[in-house]
């Protein structure tokens, strides 16, 4: 229940604006404390990043605003995006490996 | 008549919005200050992060309880309990763990399909179908997880965890007296004698602040 409330808070325009401002202005702080982040603070930070990334994709028109109508949509899209990134990373690593192997064969 | 219904609907919506706003403001303050304040039976309480001395106290409590529970022959480790359940025909590994693993694969597959559909801007009816299927799978996983947790409720690990959480709650709880907050109870035994509702509230909040997943 608390997690839902924190997620809801991180999703608000106000929270997202403050988060973006904090990224630009180091004098602006999200929390009273600088260290010893509590579980709710860590959770809040991760949701702020989560919604920041979704907002970026919506503004770049990679996905429509309909995504914000359901948390299931939000989670599924983020999962899909992460998996695609992992897949392309894996492909890159395999390509590098292949190039390296070909070079080694040529040397022999 | 229709006007009256509309006004009532509007008022209900306004009340809900205000309530949501209040809840969000409360959560926002909680996150910012790293403390949770709440009232219970006309008294004001606060939950805060443990300091180093209290963390040491909690660690000592954990080690002492570990030793005590180890001596108790009636408390079994979860691995032993799982074996005993299997002998009695309840195979936790096969009926729950493996089932959950399979369902998670299905869940991830549906998430990929929904994610792709969202990216391709497919019609809402398609999105909704995937979302309904995901919700159903998530509920199934939730049910199985609760089932396993209930079966292992009295295991050594769970018993130790429950006792440590109670100690954590006791150490985190403060009461407001003359505008100052101070430790609510001097002994864990006193804390465990209070109203169940206060204990349960304190545990929830103390874990939200202190517990690191």
Is A105's pLDDT higher than 70?
Answer: no
**What ipTM is given for this predicted complex?**
0.81
Chain B interface disruption, residue of A10, A47, A66, A73, most B CBs within 10 A: A73
Long-range contacts (CB closer than 8 Å, 24 or more residues apart) made by B192-199: B192/B166, B195/B40, B195/B41, B197/B40, B198/B40, B198/B41, B198/B45, B199/B166, B199/B169
Rounded to 10 deg, the angle between the A13-24 and A39-59 helix axes is 90
Rounded to 10 deg, the angle between the B156-172 and B196-210 helix axes is 90
Helix (H, G, I), strand (E, B) or coil at B123: coil
**Inter-chain touch A44–B31, beta carbons under 8 Å:** yes
Query: pLDDT digit string (tens) for B161-204?
Result: 999 999 999 999 999 999 999 999 999 999 999 999 999 999 99
Q: With cut-offs at 50, 70 and 90, classify the pLDDT of residue B23.
A: confident
pLDDT recorded at residue A102 = 66
Is B16's pLDDT higher than 80?
Answer: no
Better-scored residue on pLDDT, A14 or B9: A14
Is B213's pLDDT higher than 60?
Answer: no
**Average model confidence (pLDDT) across chain B:** 91
Region of poorest pLDDT, from A40-54, B6-20, B23-37: B6-20
CA–CA distance, B27 with B37 (Å, rounded to integer): 10
Chain B interface disruption, residue of A8, A11, A38, most B CBs within 10 A: A38
Is B75's pLDDT higher than 80?
Answer: yes
pLDDT recorded at residue B155 = 96
Interface of A with B (CB under 8 A): 2, 5-6, 8-9, 12, 15, 30-33, 36-42, 44, 62-64, 66-67, 70, 72-73, 75-81, 83
pTM to 2 decimal places: 0.81
Q: Nearest by CB to B209, from A40, A70, A78: name it.
A: A40
CA–CA distance, B194 with B166 (Å, rounded to integer): 12
B187 within 8 A of A14, measured Cβ to Cβ: no
Question: Residue A61: left if φ>0, alpha if ψ -120 to 50, beta else—which one?
Answer: left
pLDDT recorded at residue A104 = 67
Is B137's pLDDT higher than 70?
Answer: yes
Residues 6+ apart with CB under 8 A from A55: A16
pLDDT recorded at residue B9 = 75
Residues 6+ apart with CB under 8 A from B198: B40, B41, B45
- Using a CB-CB cut-off of 8 Å, the residues of chain A touching B114 are 72-73, 76-77, 80
Query: pLDDT digit string (tens) for A4-60?
Result: 889 999 999 999 999 988 888 777 888 988 888 888 999 999 999 999 999 999 999
Q: Give how far Cα B175 sits from Cα of B39, B172, B185, Å.
A: 10, 10, 9
Helix (H, G, I), strand (E, B) or coil at A34: coil
Token pair listed for B164:
């440590």
């Amino acid at each position: 229940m608390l997690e839902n409330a924190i997620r809801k808070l991180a999703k608000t325009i106000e929270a997202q604006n403050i988060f973006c401002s904090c990224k630009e202005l180091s004098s602006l702080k999200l929390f009273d404390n600088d260290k010893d982040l509590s579980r709710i603070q860590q959770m809040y930070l991760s949701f702020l990043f989560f919604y920041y990334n979704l907002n970026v994709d919506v503004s770049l028109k990679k996905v429509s605003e309909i995504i914000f109508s359901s948390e299931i949509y939000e989670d599924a899209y983020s999962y899909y995006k992460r998996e695609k990134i992992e897949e392309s990373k894996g492909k890159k690593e395999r390509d590098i490996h292949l190039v390296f192997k070909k070079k080694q064969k040529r040397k022999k | 008549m229709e006007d009256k219904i509309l006004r009532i609907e509007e008022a209900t919506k306004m009340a809900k919005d205000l309530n949501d706003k209040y809840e969000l403001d409360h959560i926002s303050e909680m996150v910012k200050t790293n403390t949770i304040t709440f009232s219970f039976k006309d008294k004001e309480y606060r939950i805060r992060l443990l300091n180093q001395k209290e963390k040491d106290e909690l660690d000592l409590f954990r080690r002492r309880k570990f030793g005590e529970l180890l001596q108790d022959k009636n408390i079994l480790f979860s691995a032993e309990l799982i074996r005993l359940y299997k002998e009695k025909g309840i195979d936790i590994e096969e009926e729950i763990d493996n089932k959950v693993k399979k369902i998670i694969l299905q869940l991830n597959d549906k998430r990929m399909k929904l994610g792709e559909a969202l990216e391709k801007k497919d019609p809402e009816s398609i999105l909704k179908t995937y979302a309904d299927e995901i919700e159903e799978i998530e509920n199934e996983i939730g049910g199985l997880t609760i089932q396993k947790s209930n079966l292992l409720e009295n295991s050594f690990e769970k018993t130790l965890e429950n006792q440590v959480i109670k100690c954590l709650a006791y150490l985190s709880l403060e009461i407001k007296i003359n505008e100052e907050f101070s430790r609510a109870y001097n002994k864990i035994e006193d804390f465990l004698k209070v109203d169940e509702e206060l204990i349960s509230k304190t545990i929830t909040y103390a874990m939200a602040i202190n517990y690191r997943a």
